[in-house]
Structure 1
């Protein structure tokens, strides 16, 4: 399957959302100062007409960003207010993904990349659920946010360099984006994903779309607390993938023994996933 030109796709999608409003999708960038952050993070306000709201986003750029002219792979993270620092976390913990990525780049384990953390809002449970408001959230990302990011930052315009990552409901929306918006997101990482929980079941939705043969999909779930309750949905998803010709070499799956539904577990799990998604010698 050939990859479409990501820049062309996003430009066309952006045209569908043309508005008479002069307010930009992204506010002017400001350096985000926080002692917990490693590296350089720019802070923007993302104004979405589709969602009729605004939220903070955090753009992390690698240390060599200003010393060359190359374009970088992109990773979009949900619950972005606590991936680089703990300020937006209920638990008081963070993913430490800025520290992890910096170390892995410096040790030549992964290629340098740009990360965009998209903050959640009071509508998180709706926006991260594809059966409720998740599709509109996806439209806001693809028609508004990503075109603006591509204009302002040197991001690769190849879809096979664009990934998404999230945990819990963020893992659910990541699977949706990789599965159903695969022309843009060719990599998806789902940590402790809430695929079948309470009154929704996204596994049954998978069969409504053709199995994407180019998707690199990472799924991990722990064994403690809420993760134990989510394992049934994970099992159903893995069984569906194996029964519907999902390429084995495109799937990274494991059960994290002793891991829990916490930022501390996700911080450790994300290291293995990032090495798999963005290996240094990837073509």
Structure 2
């Protein structure tokens, strides 16, 4: 009788224990030589600072050993770098060349990884490559009630200052700091949309267009997400910013001359913008879009919607974060086909298994995407 009661108590206790959906990840850092500054981790999650170079500190064990530990949802892909508080001083190889992003997939069990850092970038040389090609103008501290003020960069086509009677289509973009100017890009590599568009125009393959790229803010996740703030952000682009651009610049303001583009969460918000304002946008370029990520699934939100008159370009890579995003991209493709979209007609889907989740790889796919919308 005693044994039966004991067994019952054990089974009862076990059934009441909530199974954790989280695991612990520990990163152990070994330095080649001591540093006299604080070391930080910067990465693709909020607890990694959302790529801020000086938000999340590592714990110092001794002069050569540092550590970082966090509880992480299972099956989360972490992408991260280490800095000394500024992107000018980031982890590098023995020659001072910046290391590529580290990646860790936190699966079903606790993870502990040891990482060696041989050197740091010196900060003496610019970390960026390239330059702005063509003429740009800025709207600084663009204000919309309820949103954080942000800068807007506007790229003007070659003939804009020469032909005062000509009007131009407009491409709106997110993460504007990463699109045109490598000096403001988060990792020193921009989308190079200015170089790409200039080359295509010179080859007579693309109409001359105006590019309007809105910088992100510290509120990026809410701005680009399926949130109330996100709805306000999308409205601010489609109405407030568009009205200002159409008033100040010689644009072709009609839907057939207006598109929107972005990557990652910027790819998600590009889709949502076009889907919610199909009378404003011809369509959207969605690169490595975060349609479905961890517990978030935007595809379920549009299942009851009918087909919209839009041109949609969706792509994804095959490495790093894009591996996690792939199921959502495939699910969105199936959903759009159910609604009546046709591949290579009003829906274009591209998979590049060799590509990473990076500005450099998006830049390589951008020429094909932009020509779908504004081919000459």
Give the corresponding residue for 1:105.
201
User: Which residue of 142, 145, 150 corresponds with 1:55?
Assistant: 150
Give the corresponding residue for 1:13.
none
Contact (CA 8 Å) 1:48, 1:140: kept in 2 or not? Answer: no
Matches within 5 A, 1:143-182: 143-182=239-278
Give the corresponding residue for 1:4.
none
Between the aligned partners of 2:130 and 2:334, the Cα distance in structure 1 is 44
Question: Of Structure 1 and Structure 2, which has the larger fraction of its residues in strand?
Answer: 2
Q: Specify which structure has the bigger relative contact order, considering alpha-carbon pairs within 8 angstroms and separated by 6 or more residues.
A: 1
Q: CA RMSD in A?
A: 1.5
- Mind listing any 5+ residue stretches in structure 1 that lack a counterpart? 1-33
Shift in Å at residue 246 of structure 1?
A: 1.6
Between the aligned partners of 1:48 and 1:130, the Cα distance in structure 2 is 21
Give the corresponding residue for 1:44.
139
Between the aligned partners of 2:176 and 2:356, the Cα distance in structure 1 is 19
SS at 2:213's partner residue? strand
Between the aligned partners of 1:135 and 1:51, the Cα distance in structure 2 is 11
Shift in Å at residue 87 of structure 1?
A: 2.5
Give the corresponding residue for 1:190.
286
Aligned length: 246
1:229 matches 2:318: no
Give the corresponding residue for 1:218.
313
Matches within 5 A, 1:20-35: none
Deviates more, 1:134-143 or 1:161-170: 134-143
Shift in Å at residue 203 of structure 1?
A: 0.6
Between the aligned partners of 1:169 and 1:247, the Cα distance in structure 2 is 24
User: Which residue of 71, 76, 89 corresponds with 2:172?
Assistant: 76
Aligned pair in 2 of structure 1 residues 60, 200: CA closer, same or farther (>3 Å)?
same
Q: If you compute each CA radius of gyration, which structure gives the higher value, 1 or 2?
A: 2
1:242 matches 2:332: no
Between the aligned partners of 2:153 and 2:186, the Cα distance in structure 1 is 18
Between the aligned partners of 2:313 and 2:147, the Cα distance in structure 1 is 31
Give the corresponding residue for 1:24.
none
- Mind listing any 5+ residue stretches in structure 2 that lack a counterpart? 1-128
